[in-house]
């Protein structure tokens, strides 16, 4: 096992106890990038010297007996739509190459406060929208890593760093996690400040993360959450503590529900994997057919996303014809064509969906749902894949967690998605931990199930 | 023991476990205020209904299984120089009575996020400066509670609430803590954001807190610390975790130093108390005479404070002659008379003092120092007391912790101050815990030493 394959939880412990240094860890990550990134293309900006200088500063704090952060010395990749004061932030668009923000985004501040090394900026699809990026799937370079957080998912999967940050407006965290075989988590809407991130949809944009273990994802999320007066979606109420959830025991075996949602075009492999999972959880999974409204929610999500995107980016050079492609042009045109009345009607769905799901989770700990219809699409298909399996949950602001459990016919990874109640993110981690322990208890003693990503 | 005498640590545990409600606790605090505040005068603004509505909201979150904060349901008093969006913020000046800020101060946001009940606004001396407030010492109403955080210290001592927030520019946290017999803590400069607080001195203003146990002070401080782009004194480095410090064991018995500082006009009682303490710590206390420069630091502190105060408040109606007194007039005149060159020279002392103390704590865990020259002054003396015992540490940005250990000739409390290295606040809590355990081990089993305030 190399240093680059350590989880963040292992690495922070080893750094705290002096067994490894942040410089060694960062060098190992840089070496892994050096070996593999020519093929993968996960990075929009990477400067080894800048990364190592941060690592050295974190090692220096430790040597001087200064406080250590929750992610002390651990390299983290940042999707290139988050502002960084010391690195360019290109938004995935040639119109913004080399753009230099004045200040760090809120999540970058939080990560630095936690002692993380900001390794570099990961490739995003243009403006975090639907056009593909140039990143390739680390499991097979003929396949897409998904989007829009392409580089963050691919980089974590390829061992470039244990943790990375993404955003999800449709399905841009959980879908690439599914395609790249990583863990992915998008917390409850309003958990993480979006200050300093490109705003594409004020209603739907949400921050999330990627990791190679469930514990790591909990650790990362606890660092990111918090109120910020600059983001009106955040709130001053107490936050769920993911690590506490991860570490706690379920009082009884959790109740799951598998919602069969007609418009989800699942592959046979994904349908088979979900059936097998439900069988393995015999007696704990209710099967329900989703209400008719769910097709309507998908349409409303598209209406809100395109309407807000077109207006947020209006006048931005990145959507000028010479800087974009037909996919972007078409979506912007769709957004411009949405009337204010149609938008208002779609917005009403958000409130309705929140109310519906507020009651729903009285009966269930989590919804089981595929993280994608199937395996990643081939790059030649010219798409980052279908976000259909996330759009409803993103619109409703629910926490969604992807576990890399399945494999498709082409041998590519596919994720299971667990969907929880708003602000019960910690309970969702508890449920996910139970599920991993339960599923893997045949293979081992159940203690290290969440560490499978390291082996 | 009544609910109002619970520490915050006990109260949050009892609330979490359902033994008491935040409403019951808040009612008990309000009843205590009702009984005693006519005499003490700790409150600038208090609305029982507003406090109880917050408490009810915190109880409601618990009933619904929502996340609970570190101070869930615990009433906290806020010095009336911190903005509150829902309560007037009068700055202790008749010129600002009823002033309504637009937004909460950073520390109010943090407290709400931790589930605290913002009980009300405590009396501050006018503009947090040297003129006395109308608050009386709860131990004897003929005496001053100290200032400028008069109401916060007096209220915590009188059982109005377990925790309160203050600020220290000269000695406005540790001195009133000493006079009122509470614990008080001012963390390392830059630990807590001052956004939304009255700025009197950008160099010296620092946020601190009051409590009735050491553990409570650690709990409170951990909630308050954090980077804020709006306060350039804060930084993105990892923060000390006070509760971890409080709960950890010292590897060996700590080394103390008692700095005999010539200009400190200690009473015989205080000098005797310090001598007795040093004897009890026989072999662990070096006695040093402070360098000559220390008198210079005191003068430079005054130069910086008055210069910055006069310019920060320039044009503010609160320093118009009809709204103020001779003490304020004199200090403002002194500040206006300081030349830019004299100010720059004094500012250089800050850097020099920081450098001096950075090396100093290689040899010592903490400086032992009185928290005040002696007991509180009588109200009739027309002063909030002498901040001489804090000014050097405040200027150097060091963490300072007051323990209510001593009693003067008039039976009034006096505090011991522990001074630590910058950013080693957690170590200071560890050292203080050791000291309490050590001093009280003759009286009990050493487990509950920090709870003496409740008995």
Mean pLDDT throughout B379-398? 97
Rounded to a whole number, what is the distance in Å from the CA of A319 to chain B's nearest CA?
Answer: 31
Residue B312 confidence (pLDDT) above 50: yes
Asked if the structure places residue B315 within a domain, the reply is no
Tell me which chain B residues have a C-beta less than 8 angstroms from the C-beta of A226: 113
Residue of chain B minimizing CA distance to A421: B66
What is A236-269 written as a DSSP string? SSPPP-HHHHHHSPPSSPPPEEEEE-TT----HH
Residue B446 has pLDDT above 70, yes or no: no
Count of other CB atoms within 10 angstroms of residue B409:
12
How far is it, in rounded angstroms, from Cα B144 to Cα B148?
Answer: 11
Structure confidence at residue B342 (pLDDT): 98
As a whole number, mean pLDDT of residues B377-384 equals 97
What's the pLDDT score for residue A274? 97
Closest partner residue to A238 among B67, B229, B241, by Cβ? B67
Average pLDDT over residues B135-158: 98
**What is the crossing angle of helices B48-63 and B8-16, to 10°?**
50
Which parts of A171-319 are beta strand (E)? 183-186, 206-211, 256-260, 285-289
Helices of type H across A313-339: 326-337
Q: What are phi and psi of A136, to 5 degrees?
A: -115, 155
pLDDT at A440: 86
Check pLDDT > 50 for residue A410: yes
A104 to chain B: closest CA residue: B229
| Residues B84-109 pLDDT 10s | 999 999 999 999 999 999 999 999 99
pLDDT in tens, B162-209: 999 999 999 999 999 999 999 999 999 999 999 999 999 999 999 999
pLDDT band at B2 (very low <50, low <70, confident <90, very high): confident
* pLDDT above 90: residue B6: yes
User: Could you tell me which residue, A262 or A335, shows the higher pLDDT?
Assistant: A335
CA B328 to chain centre: 22
- Alpha-carbon distance of B205 to A305, in angstroms, equals 46
B285 falls within a domain? yes
Looking at per-residue confidence, does B290 or B454 come out higher? B290
Tell me: pLDDT of A361 over 90.
yes
Structure confidence at residue B1 (pLDDT): 62
Predicted confidence at residue A380, as pLDDT, reads: 97
C-alpha–C-alpha distance, residues B436 and B405, integer Å: 9
- pLDDT of res. B160: 98
Structure letter (DSSP) for residue B378 = B
pLDDT at position A442 is 55
A389 domain-assigned: yes
Mean per-residue pLDDT, A282-286: 93
Q: Is B236 on the interface with A (CB under 8 A)?
A: yes
Q: Which one of B237, B421, B424 makes the best mutation probe of the A interface by having the most chain A beta carbons within 10 Å?
A: B237
Q: Is-contact B156 B180, C-beta < 8 A?
A: yes
B244 interface with A at CB cutoff 8 Å:
no
Degrees, nearest 5: CA angle B394-B428-B9:
105
Give the helix/strand (H/E) hosting B444: none
Tokens standing for residue A37: 């990134």
Q: What is the mean pLDDT of residues A313-319?
A: 96
* Mean of pLDDT values over A241-257: 96
Which residue in chain A is spatially nearest to B234 when comparing CA positions?
A113
Q: Which residues of A are catalytic?
A: 79, 148, 172
Structure confidence at residue B282 (pLDDT) = 87
Confidence bin at B214 (pLDDT 50/70/90): very high
Question: How many CB contacts within 8 angstroms connect chain A with chain B?
Answer: 77
Which residue has tokens 């409590």? B211
Of the two residues B443 and B87, the one the predictor is more confident about is: B87
What mean pLDDT do residues B244-268 have? 94
Burial (0-12, 13-18, 19+ Cβ within 10 Å), B92: buried
Instruction: Show residues of chain B in contact with A61, CB under 8 Å.
Output: 237-238
In a domain, A282, yes or no: no
B68:A238 CB<8 A: yes
Query: Does the beta-carbon distance from B424 to A237 stay under 8 Å?
Result: no
Q: Give the C-alpha separation, B56 to A176, whole Å.
A: 42
Mutate which: B67, B225, B420, vs A, most A CBs within 10 A: B67
Q: Which two tokens stand for residue B227?
A: 């980077």
The tokens 């998605």 sit on which residue?
Answer: A417
**CATH code, B48:** 3.90.1300.10
Evaluate whether residue A206 is within a structural domain: yes
Longest Cα pair distance anywhere in chain A, in angstroms? 61
Q: Which of B66, B69, B229 sits opposite A423 (nearest CB)?
A: B66
Q: Give the count of domains, chain A.
A: 1
- Look up the ipTM and state it: 0.91
Compare CB distances from B67 to A70, A72, A426 and report the shortest one's residue: A426
Phi, psi of B340 (to 5 degrees): -60, -35
Label residue A293 by pLDDT band (50, 70, 90). Answer: confident
Is the CB of A238 less than 8 angstroms away from the CB of B114?
A: yes
B227 touches chain A (CB under 8 A): yes
A115 in contact with chain B, both atoms CB, cutoff 8 A: yes
Q: Does A236 touch chain B (CB under 8 A)?
A: yes
The helix (H) or strand (E) run that includes residue B206 is strand B206-211
Asked if A72 lies within 8 A of B238 by C-beta distance, the reply is: yes
CB contact under 8 A, A236 and B112: yes
pLDDT tens, position by position, A426-437:
999 999 999 999
Length of chain A: 455
Rounded to the nearest angstrom, the minimum Cα separation between B336 and chain A is 35
pLDDT of A452 over the 70 cut: no
Tell me whether B86 touches chain A (CB under 8 Å).
no
Residue A340 lies in a domain: no
Catalytic residue numbers of B read 79, 148, 172
Burial of A252 (0-12, 13-18, 19+ CB in 10 A): exposed
Domain that holds residue A245: 3-255+370-454
pLDDT in tens, A369-409: 999 999 999 999 999 999 999 999 999 999 999 999 999 99
Statement: residue B316 has pLDDT above 70 = yes
């Amino acid at each position: 096992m190399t240093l680059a394959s350590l989880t963040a939880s292992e690495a922070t412990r080893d750094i705290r106890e002096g067994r490894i240094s942040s410089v060694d860890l960062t060098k190992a990550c840089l070496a892994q990038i050096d070996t593999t990134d020519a093929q993968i293309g996960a990075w929009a900006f990477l400067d080894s010297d800048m990364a190592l200088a941060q690592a050295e500063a974190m090692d220096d704090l430790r040597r001087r007996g200064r406080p250590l952060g929750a992610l002390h010395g651990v390299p983290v990749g940042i999707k290139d739509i988050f502002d960084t004061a010391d690195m360019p932030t290109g938004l995935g668009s040639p119109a913004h190459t080399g753009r230099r923000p004045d200040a760090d985004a809120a999540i970058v501040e939080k990560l630095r406060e936690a002692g993380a090394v900001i390794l570099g900026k990961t490739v995003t699809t243009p403006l975090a929208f639907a056009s593909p990026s140039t990143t390739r799937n680390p499991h097979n370079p003929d396949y897409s890593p998904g989007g829009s957080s392409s580089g963050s998912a691919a980089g974590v999967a390829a061992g470039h760093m244990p943790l990375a940050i993404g955003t999800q407006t449709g399905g841009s965290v959980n879908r690439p996690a599914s395609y790249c075989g990583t863990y992915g988590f998008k917390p409850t809407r309003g958990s993480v400040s979006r200050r300093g991130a490109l705003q594409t949809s004020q209603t739907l944009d949400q921050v999330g993360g990627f990791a190679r273990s469930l514990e790591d994802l909990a650790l990362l999320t606890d660092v990111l959450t918090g109120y910020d007066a600059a983001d009106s979606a955040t709130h001053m109420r107490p936050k769920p503590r993911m690590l506490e959830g991860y570490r706690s025991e379920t009082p009884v075996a959790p109740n799951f529900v598998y919602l069969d949602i007609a418009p989800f075009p699942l592959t046979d492999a994904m349908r088979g994997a979900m059936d097998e999972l439900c069988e393995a959880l015999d007696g704990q999974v209710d099967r329900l057919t989703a209400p008719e409204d769910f097709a309507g929610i998908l349409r409303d999500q598209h209406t809100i996303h395109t309407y807000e995107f077109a207006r947020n980016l209006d006048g931005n050079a990145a959507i000028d014809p010479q800087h974009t492609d037909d996919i972007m042009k078409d979506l912007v045109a769709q957004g411009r064509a949405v009337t204010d009345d149609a938008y208002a009607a779609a917005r009403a769905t958000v409130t309705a969906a929140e109310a519906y799901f507020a009651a729903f989770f009285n009966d269930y700990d989590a919804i089981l749902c595929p993280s994608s219809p199937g395996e990643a699409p081939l790059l030649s298909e010219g798409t980052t894949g279908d976000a259909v399996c996330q759009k409803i949950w993103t619109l409703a602001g629910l926490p969604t967690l992807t576990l890399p459990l399945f494999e498709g016919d082409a041998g590519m990874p596919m994720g299971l998605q667990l969907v929880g109640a708003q602000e019960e993110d910690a309970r969702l981690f508890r449920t996910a931990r139970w599920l991993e322990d339960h599923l893997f208890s045949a293979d081992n003693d159940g203690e290290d199930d969440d560490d499978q990503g390291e082996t």
